[in-house]
Chain A
Amino acid sequence: MEYSSVSCRVLREHFGINAKENQKVIALAGNPNVGKSTVFNALTGLRQHTGNWPGKTVDNAQGVFTYKNNFFLMVDLPGTYSILARTVEEEIARDFICFGQPDVTIVVLDATSLERNLNLALQVMEITSRVVVCVNLIDEAKKKNISIDYAGLEQELGVPVVPTAARGGIGLEDLKEEVYQVALGFKKVQPRKTRYSPEIEEALAALIPKIQDLGWGQFLNPRWVALRFLEGDEKLIDNIVRHLSLRTGQSMNSEVEIAL
């Protein structure tokens, strides 16, 4: 456990994120124009630091907040519709969630168009289980006569769902509480598995055991890796190998050894 926290730090530094020992790292993902920045500002206030992602011309904002005497470092990911890495922004968001191993990833959704927004949440939930879904703009949704069953949504998704109206400061305390619960492992999350068409599921079933043989299992969700293999995302696969070698070679070898 201690070992993995050291390796996490190496990986995060690679993204220009220098979290202190006692800080929990929170990633903030969401579609463009869903009030992600409002949530970010509301939680971190003026304790922010802005710059660029290393080697990219994409803005990067980090901020800190404390809750119940715990320290959190929040990383604002670029606003994207998906994280299938079709654009530089999507690649940054995906790589950070995947390799930066945040303690919690908050996915901000627009309550007035959940259908489109949920797609991002489902994609994030395939990479990491430690997700808190924040349904923002509930005031707008109310105006538009959209009623959402938050408890049902939470049950369906298997991760905490917090309704917020960040502009009016509504629901932000609940959001912090859920983040705290998940980050410190008080609340167990069990994200819903996205169901695919039979031919995809079949191909996944054949690939997953072999991916588990590679020994990436502790670090990455084999199902998600198998999906990327099926898409033929060679760049990501190479990226995984490169990032894994950033951890000390010893652990990689021992994992392969165990697998063999």
Chain B
Amino acid sequence: MSNTIIGHNLLSELKREAQKKRLAGENFFADKIVNDIFANAEDIVRKNVVRKDKQINWSQKADNVLTSKITGYPIMLLTLGVILWITISGANVPSAILADVLFRFQDVLTGIFMYLGAPDWLHGVLILGSYRSLAWVVSVMLPPMAIFFPLFTLLEDLGYLPRVSFNLDHIFKKARACGKQSLTMCMGFGCNAAGVISCRIIDSPRERLIAILTNNFVPCNGRFPILIAIGMIFGAGALASHLQSAAVAGIITGMILIGIAVTFIVSWALSRTLLKGETSSMVLELPPYRRPKILAVLYRSFIDRTIFVLRRAVLVALPAGAITWLVSNVYVGEMSILAHTANFLDPVALAIGLDGFILLAFILGLPANEIVFPILIMSYLSSGYMIELDSLADLQILLVSNGWTWLTALCTMLFCVLHWPCATTLLTALKETGSKKWSFLAFLIPTGMAFLVCFIVAQSARLLGLAP
């Protein structure tokens, strides 16, 4: 018996000593051990293996550039910027054409309703409500999606995304999160619900939770059009037209970077408070570069993503448009229900640089972010400013006449990137974590961040006298 106790003493003494050494090594021993094993393996291979494999050499060279500490980050940033630039400049024209066609058809529909002598409210609900928000969703969302998704899938097919994950690994490690989180973030660009599901690839439950809770900070496809539209309206006005797309791409890249920065900050904070723990290393197999199968890419991005997301948006937009029209046209006293609610929200909204209508649109957009912008436009339109909206310039007039400044635009974009996840994402988080507490946090953390960041930005801009 006494022997066992002595054995235990020896053991705890040993644990203490190892801990001391570990701390002296600044906790990098685990990493160093892995690195040393790889160095040994490299050494053995160098002595015993001769490679005349052209393809491997070629991909090794590509890896050296794409994952280098110096060129890796600029290339990632540039790729993101270029993709956004192509998306924006490419989406411009088809967006305008679609809007033109769809809104002209609205006039035709209105004509038919008039001819049939349909009551005003029916015309309002069906045409001004449902049809118009549908037209908005399609004309604003379809072109950027149809360009962005294939480009993104192309990168995926080329084998670039795992390299991105590799590059970002050490930042995630600093935040004590998993490097694979960057892959789940990439999924989040498409759809945050899909991003949350993809967190299954992270093995450690702690790191998986961090990834789930922060996935919302990458703007999904439903929020992209809001960023693009606002960016185009306010970001590019001052510049020569051929520079506009680049400027808008720059603004949106900036927004995405802010979202990514917040992801790191929140991950860092979580792993030091609620989800304490050390990071685990991961082995990431960098797949060979492949020539992408263009047809498969087009099919996958069109059917699996574009059509899928668009369908969801349309299904939500139809009823939401009708409801929004109703609440903005049913009057209680002097004002519509919508205006009453917006007024009620106004004090809070103004403090964070928005207005009541914007905040209300985000709240009503909980089922799907895609409809936030259509709701917003509709609520502005119903409050008196009737304008034929067939170009972004008209949209700018509408927003400015409703009191928008550059600060409103900035705060709306920030709020858009940071605010609560859509209902689908929240339900997915509930399913994946199996816990109401964590799902509530998945709502609370982004909401808190959105209010905090917008409040700081709005208040400091006003204090400095930069905006009213």
Query: A213 contacts which chain B residues (CB < 8 A)?
Result: 10
Q: Are B33 and A257 in contact (CB under 8 A)?
A: no
Q: Are A115 and B17 in contact (CB under 8 A)?
A: no
The one of B17, B29, B38 in contact with A119, judged by C-beta atoms closer than 8 angstroms, is B38
Q: How far is the CA of A81 from the CA of B284 in the complex (A)?
A: 9
Q: Are B25 and A256 in contact (CB under 8 A)?
A: no
Query: B47 contacts which chain A residues (CB < 8 A)?
Result: 149, 152, 156
Q: Are B49 and A146 in contact (CB under 8 A)?
A: yes
Give the segment of A40-48, A67-75, A94-102, A200-208 that binds chain B. Answer: A200-208
- Mark out the residues of chain A between 125 and 150 whose CB falls within 8 Å of any chain B CB in the assembled complex: 144-149
The answer to the question of B241 belonging to the interface, with a C-beta cut-off of 8 Å to chain A, is: no
The answer to the question of B274 belonging to the interface, with a C-beta cut-off of 8 Å to chain A, is: no
Q: How far is the CA of A153 from the CA of B56 in the complex (A)?
A: 21
Q: How far is the CA of A227 from the CA of B56 in the complex (A)?
A: 34
Q: Are A256 and B3 in contact (CB under 8 A)?
A: yes
1/0 contact trace for A219-245 toward B, CB 8 Å?
000000011011110100100010000
- Mark out the residues of chain B between 7 and 49 whose CB falls within 8 Å of any chain A CB in the assembled complex: 7, 10-11, 13-15, 17-19, 21-22, 25, 29-30, 32-34, 36-38, 40-42, 44-45, 47-49
Q: Are B18 and A146 in contact (CB under 8 A)?
A: no
Q: Are B41 and A115 in contact (CB under 8 A)?
A: yes
Closest approach, in angstroms, between the C-beta of B282 and any C-beta of chain A?
7
Q: Are B29 and A144 in contact (CB under 8 A)?
A: no
Task: Report whether over half of chain B's contact residues are helix, strand or loop; otherwise say mixed.
Answer: helix
The answer to the question of B4 belonging to the interface, with a C-beta cut-off of 8 Å to chain A, is: yes
Q: Are A232 and B33 in contact (CB under 8 A)?
A: no
Residues of chain B at interface, number, CB under 8 A: 46
Closest approach, in angstroms, between the C-beta of B81 and any C-beta of chain A?
33
Closest approach, in angstroms, between the C-beta of A148 and any C-beta of chain B?
5
Q: Are A196 and B36 in contact (CB under 8 A)?
A: yes
Q: Are B29 and A203 in contact (CB under 8 A)?
A: yes
The answer to the question of A82 belonging to the interface, with a C-beta cut-off of 8 Å to chain B, is: yes
1/0 contact trace for A108-121 toward B, CB 8 Å?
00000011101100
- Mark out the residues of chain A between 176 and 200 whose CB falls within 8 Å of any chain B CB in the assembled complex: 194-197, 199-200
- Max count, chain A CB within 10 A of own CB: residue among B18, B53, B285: B18
Q: Are A156 and B44 in contact (CB under 8 A)?
A: yes
Closest approach, in angstroms, between the C-beta of A204 and any C-beta of chain B?
9
If A118-B45, A144-B53, A230-B18 touch, does A253 touch B3 (CB 8 Å cutoff)? yes
- Max count, chain B CB within 10 A of own CB: residue among A115, A152, A195: A115
Q: Are B285 and A116 in contact (CB under 8 A)?
A: yes
Q: Are B25 and A149 in contact (CB under 8 A)?
A: no
Query: B52 contacts which chain A residues (CB < 8 A)?
Result: 145-147
The answer to the question of A123 belonging to the interface, with a C-beta cut-off of 8 Å to chain B, is: yes
Chain A interface size band reads 35 or more
Closest approach, in angstroms, between the C-beta of A53 and any C-beta of chain B?
16
Q: Are B7 and A252 in contact (CB under 8 A)?
A: yes
Q: How far is the CA of A249 from the CA of B7 in the complex (A)?
A: 12
Q: How far is the CA of A214 from the CA of B355 in the complex (A)?
A: 70
Q: How far is the CA of A200 from the CA of B51 in the complex (A)?
A: 32
Q: Are A230 and B3 in contact (CB under 8 A)?
A: no
Q: Are B53 and A145 in contact (CB under 8 A)?
A: yes
Q: Are B3 and A115 in contact (CB under 8 A)?
A: no
Query: A145 contacts which chain B residues (CB < 8 A)?
Result: 51-54
Closest approach, in angstroms, between the C-beta of B463 and any C-beta of chain A?
48
Query: A162 contacts which chain B residues (CB < 8 A)?
Result: none
Q: How far is the CA of A144 from the CA of B114 in the complex (A)?
A: 73
The one of A84, A88, A241, A249 in contact with B281, judged by C-beta atoms closer than 8 angstroms, is A84
Q: Are B4 and A194 in contact (CB under 8 A)?
A: no
Query: A144 contacts which chain B residues (CB < 8 A)?
Result: 51, 53, 55-56
Q: Nearest 9 CB-CB pairs, A to B?
A: A81-B283, A229-B18, A118-B41, A145-B52, A87-B203, A231-B30, A149-B48, A152-B48, A144-B53
Contact sample, A vs B, 16 pairs, CB 8 Å cutoff: A88-B203, A118-B40, A119-B41, A145-B54, A146-B53, A148-B50, A206-B21, A210-B10, A214-B11, A230-B21, A230-B22, A230-B25, A232-B18, A232-B30, A232-B278, A253-B4
